[in-house]
């Protein structure tokens, strides 16, 4: 099978995805960058295996083609983003959408894909995922509710502040509070309202 790509980055992402999703010595990949970037994939093995691998490889290729964007709409498969990102801690992936919204980017989740109207390159999304994961890693042993963690992460990343300073600011602005007599940090309002208030603070 021969696949063509717009640039070397696309081809490399394609090859990375194949090798991470298909753990078989029967799949051989080579590429050249003569006229356009072309990748050859050959599969040996039992007919049913070849058929399954072929379907999976075509699916990966289709996902990568979607990233090129049509009429200003870009679609990124979450597995491609996570495959490229170096993660410190597990994160709620839809938090990436909230961060994009805060930055004025029109984005939404569609099943296992992120759909963006406007421009956002794969590397930007990978960077956001890595940043969120780093911040979540720092909060891993702290007494913070799940929703409060989301708000702290957004504030910390968009304002370029440490977790400690972000918590101090958000307590001061009334977005966070302590739960009863405990040390547990919780949101002082529902998450949607907290996002609206965050938007005001960040602007």
Domain borders along the chain are 1-66, 69-138, 140-202
What class has domain 69-138? alpha beta
Residue 62: how many CB atoms within 10 A of its CB? Answer: 11
Distance CA 14, CA 163 (A): 36
Q: Report the sign of the C-alpha dihedral through residues 121, 122, 127, 132, in that order.
A: positive
159 touches 170 (CB < 8 A): no
In what side-by-side order are the strands of the sheet with 2-5?
A: 2-5, 37-43, 27-32
Q: What is the pLDDT of residue 169?
A: 95
Predicted confidence at residue 167, as pLDDT, reads 95
Looking at the whole model, is its pTM more than 0.95? no
Give the CA dihedral 71, 110, 137, 99, nearest 10 degrees: 50
Structure tokens at 37: 């970037």
Return the closest-CA partner of residue 197 out of 166, 173, 167, 172.
Answer: 173
Work out whether strand 185-187 and strand 27-32 pair parallel, antiparallel, or are unpaired. unpaired
For residue 16, give both structure tokens: 């990375």
Residue 158: what pLDDT? 93
Q: What is the pLDDT along the chain (203 residues), one digit of tens a residue?
A: 888 887 777 888 888 888 877 776 677 777 776 667 888 888 888 888 888 888 888 888 888 887 776 667 888 888 888 888 899 888 998 899 999 999 888 999 988 888 888 767 788 889 999 999 999 999 999 999 999 999 999 999 999 999 999 999 999 999 999 988 888 999 999 999 999 999 888 88
CA dihedral 107, 109, 114, 115 (to 10 degrees): -50
- Cβ atoms of residues 104 and 98 within 8 Å: no
| DSSP single-letter state for residue 71 | T
What topology does CATH give the domain 1-66?
A: Gyrase A; domain 2 (3.30.1360)
For 143, the 3-state DSSP assignment is coil
Residue-level pLDDT at 34: 67
The C-alpha angle 84, 89, 93, rounded to 5 degrees, equals: 65
């Amino acid at each position: 099978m021969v696949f063509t790509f717009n640039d070397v980055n696309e081809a490399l992402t394609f090859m990375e995805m194949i090798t991470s999703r298909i753990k078989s010595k029967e799949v051989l990949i080579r590429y050249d960058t003569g006229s356009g970037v072309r990748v050859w994939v050959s599969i040996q093995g039992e007919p049913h295996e070849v058929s399954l691998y072929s379907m999976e490889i075509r699916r990966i290729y289709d996902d990568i083609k979607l990233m090129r964007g049509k009429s200003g709409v870009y679609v990124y498969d979450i597995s491609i983003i996570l495959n490229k990102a170096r993660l410190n801690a597990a994160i709620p992936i839809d938090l990436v959408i909230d961060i994009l919204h805060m930055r004025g980017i029109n984005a939404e989740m569609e099943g296992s894909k992120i759909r963006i109207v406007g421009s956002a390159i794969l590397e930007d999304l990978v960077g956001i995922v890595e940043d969120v994961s780093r911040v979540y890693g720092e909060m891993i042993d702290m007494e913070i509710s799940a929703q409060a963690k989301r708000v702290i992460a957004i504030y910390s990343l968009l304002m370029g502040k440490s977790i400690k300073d972000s918590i101090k600011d958000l307590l001061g602005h009334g977005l966070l509070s302590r739960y009863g007599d405990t040390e547990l940090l919780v949101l002082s309002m529902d998450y949607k309202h907290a996002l609206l208030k965050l938007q005001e603070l960040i602007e």
